[in-house]
Amino acid sequence: MTPTDTPAVPAPGDDIGPGFGRLLQRYLLPVGLCAAPMGDIYAHRAVLERNKQALKRWMPHYAKVHTVLAAGLLTVCSGAHATEASGWLVAAAAVPTLGEVVLAITFGCIALVLRLGND
């Protein structure tokens, strides 16, 4: 490899690899969605704009997915069967429920800010 050769870098939004775990990671979290800005100022600005467009496209999806997951977990934690379960099980289920609620709020706020932004 000569110094002028550069390794192929996948574009944002490309498949990040085979396997169900990678697919699940791709559709649950914004991993690998944005590219790192490199090059001169014009290329830097173009990459930032492409990243912003990708975030505008995908953040509502992430907000919806985590809202549905949070609602499902809240239903399980507060349903009629939760009173029959051990307190330890309900407490153990409350931890991922809290995480899903936080992710839903975070991704929803990011989607709202990107939607209302003037750029």
Q: Which burial class, exposed, middle or buried, applies to 58 when counting CB atoms under 10 A from its CB (0-12, 13-18, 19+)?
A: buried
SS3 content of the chain, % helix, strand, coil (to 5): 70, 0, 30
The domains of the chain are located at 20-116
**Per residue in 72-116, pLDDT tens?**
988 888 876 767 777 777 788 889 999 999 999 999 999 999 989
**Per residue in 19-76, pLDDT tens?**
778 777 778 888 888 888 888 999 999 999 999 999 999 999 999 999 999 999 888 8
